[in-house]
């Protein structure tokens, strides 16, 4: 690869780091090259799994997520606000399914505080732990292969177990939110989330704006399968258009 092309690829990644979703025309203008050159570069970067192609542009692929303990230290106020906003929407539910992740743990904290006499089915030890402070909430833990860094069970055993239950709501986190749908950095977690979506009447994504316009390893749903997105800022651009087209209700939290 020529030095000029290497420098251009680096510049594309730099641009997408600042603006995670960009159109070919925008990149061509920023780098002062033709659209044809940008398209070829994007194809090569996509083959290296550094970006994901979208219609007319590209998304920066989500790097491997930090482990759960590290994620607990970031966006603390935003996640707490999301949890506070999400819990009231679940009023009247009898059975919930909750996925793993730091934001879903915040929702579980509010559920433990605000709800009673419900059943929660989860594969997350963090979710189960915070719900245990409310003795009126029955927690059912899904079995499976334990993923220590995520603090959750995954695998075929987990999915098979979940297939035996139904619930009013699935509450799920995400590593990335792209116009094509929510995704997770762990393919095994995405399998569990897909199964939860199948078993639930309504489905909710809880994620802060740092996940916007990013695509992680495994997409686990299309937006037409999701009812609500609870977040700290309303998305814009192609993501906003996709959510609107599929009638996803966006619930924005007050500024922390």
What are the sequence ranges of the domains in the chain?
3-60, 68-252
Tell me whether domains 3-60 and 68-252 share a fold. no
- Distance in angstroms (rounded) separating the CA atoms of residues 82 and 86: 6
In degrees to the nearest 10, what's the CA dihedral of 93, 94, 99, 102?
60
Q: Count other Cβ atoms within 10 Å, centred on residue 60.
A: 23
User: Average pLDDT of each block of 10 consecutive residues along the chain (256 residues)?
Assistant: 82 75 86 90 82 76 52 66 95 97 95 96 97 96 93 96 98 93 93 98 96 87 98 91 96 80
CATH architecture of 68-252: 3-Layer(aba) Sandwich (3.40)
Q: What is the pTM of this model?
A: 0.75
pLDDT of residue 62: 60
pLDDT of residue 256: 55
* Pair 117, 92: CB distance under 8 Å: no
Q: Integer distance in angstroms from the first to the last C-alpha of the chain?
A: 47
Neighbouring residues of 82: CB distance < 8 A, sequence distance ≥ 6? 103, 106, 107, 206, 207, 208, 230, 231, 232, 253
pLDDT of residue 131: 96
Selection from 199, 254, 245, 252 nearest residue 230 by Cα: 252
Q: Which numeric CATH code is attached to 3-60?
A: 1.10.10.10
pLDDT of residue 72: 45
């Amino acid at each position: 690869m020529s030095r000029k092309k290497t420098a251009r690829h680096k510049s594309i990644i730099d641009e997408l780091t600042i603006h995670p979703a960009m159109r070919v025309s925008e990149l061509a203008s920023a780098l002062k090259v033709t659209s044809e050159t940008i398209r070829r570069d994007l194809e090569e970067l996509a083959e290296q799994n550094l970006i994901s192609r979208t219609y007319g542009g590209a998304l920066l692929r989500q790097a491997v997520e930090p482990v759960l303990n590290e994620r607990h230290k970031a966006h603390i106020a935003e996640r707490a606000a999301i949890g506070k906003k999400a819990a009231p929407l679940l009023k009247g539910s009898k059975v919930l399914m909750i996925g793993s992740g730091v934001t879903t743990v915040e929702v579980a904290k509010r559920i433990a505080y605000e709800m009673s006499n419900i059943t929660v089915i989860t594969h997350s030890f963090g979710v189960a732990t915070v719900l245990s402070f409310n003795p009126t909430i029955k927690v059912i833990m899904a079995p499976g292969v334990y993923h220590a860094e995520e603090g959750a069970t995954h695998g075929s055993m987990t999915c098979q177990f979940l297939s035996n239950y139904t619930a009013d709501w699935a509450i799920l986190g995400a590593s990335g939110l792209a116009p094509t749908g929510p995704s997770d950095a762990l393919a095994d977690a995405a399998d569990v989330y897909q199964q939860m979506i199948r078993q639930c009447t309504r489905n909710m994504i809880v994620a802060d704006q740092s996940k916007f316009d990013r695509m992680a390893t495994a997409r686990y749903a299309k937006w037409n399968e999701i009812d609500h997105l609870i977040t700290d800022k309303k998305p814009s651009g192609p993501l906003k258009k996709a959510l609107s087209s599929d009638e996803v209700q966006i619930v924005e939290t007050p500024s922390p």
